[in-house]
Amino acid sequence: MQIRLPCVLMRGGTSRGPFFLASHLPADPARRDAMLLAALGSPHPLQIDGIGGGNSLTSKVAIVGPANEPAADVEYLFAQVATDRGVVDTRPNCGNMLAGVGPFAIEAGLVAPRHPETLVRIRNRNTGALIEAVVQTPDGQVTYDGAAAIAGVPGTAAPVELRFRDVAGSRTGTLFPTGLRQEILDGTAATLIDGAMPMLLLDAAALGTDATLPPEAIEADTALLRRIEALRREAGRRMGLGDVSDSVVPKPALLGPGRDGATLAARYLTPHAVHRAMAVTGGITLAIAARLPGTLAHRLAAPGEGPGEGPGEEAVRIAHPAGLLEIGLSLDGEAVRWASVLRTARRIFEGHLLLPATALPATRPVAAAA
Residues 353/5, Cβ–Cβ less than 8 Å: yes
Closest CA to 36 of 23, 46, 50, 48: 50
Q: How many CB atoms lie within 10 A of CB 349?
A: 11
pLDDT in tens, the chain (370 residues): 899 999 999 999 999 999 999 999 999 999 999 999 999 999 999 999 999 999 999 999 999 999 999 999 999 999 999 999 999 999 888 999 999 999 999 999 999 999 999 999 999 999 888 999 999 999 999 999 999 999 999 999 999 999 998 788 988 999 999 999 999 999 999 999 999 999 999 999 999 999 999 999 999 999 999 999 999 999 999 999 999 998 999 999 999 999 999 999 999 999 999 999 999 999 999 999 999 999 999 999 988 654 445 556 789 999 999 999 999 999 888 888 999 999 999 999 999 999 999 888 754 434 444 3
pLDDT at 137: 98
Strands 251-257 and 198-203: parallel
Residues 182/236, Cβ–Cβ less than 8 Å: no
Paired strand residues for 122:
74, 131
Show the domains of the chain with their CATH numbers: 2-166+345-359 (3.10.310.10), 183-341 (3.10.310.10)
State the Rg of the chain over Cα.
20
Residues 6+ apart with CB under 8 A from 202: 188, 189, 190, 228, 231, 252, 253, 254, 255, 296
Q: What distance in Å separates the CA atoms of residue 282 and residue 201, rounded to the nearest whole number? A: 10
pLDDT at 359: 86
pLDDT at 276: 93
Q: What distance in Å separates the CA atoms of residue 328 and residue 317, rounded to the nearest whole number? A: 9
- What is the CA 235 to chain-centroid distance, rounded? 19
Residues 31/361, Cβ–Cβ less than 8 Å: yes
Q: What distance in Å separates the CA atoms of residue 304 and residue 287, rounded to the nearest whole number? A: 11
Q: What distance in Å separates the CA atoms of residue 151 and residue 84, rounded to the nearest whole number? A: 27
Q: Verify cis geometry, omega within 30 degrees of 0, for the bond prior to 271.
A: yes
Residues 111/73, Cβ–Cβ less than 8 Å: yes
pLDDT at 364: 41
pLDDT at 305: 52
Strands 313-320 and 264-268: parallel
Residues 6+ apart with CB under 8 A from 78: 60, 61, 62, 63, 90, 92, 93, 94, 97, 98, 124, 126
Q: What distance in Å separates the CA atoms of residue 334 and residue 340, rounded to the nearest whole number? A: 17
What pTM was computed for the model?
0.83
- What is the CA 118 to chain-centroid distance, rounded? 22
Residues 6+ apart with CB under 8 A from 303: none
**DSSP character string of 146-181:** -SB--TTS-S-B-EEEEEEES-S-TTTSSSSTTS-S
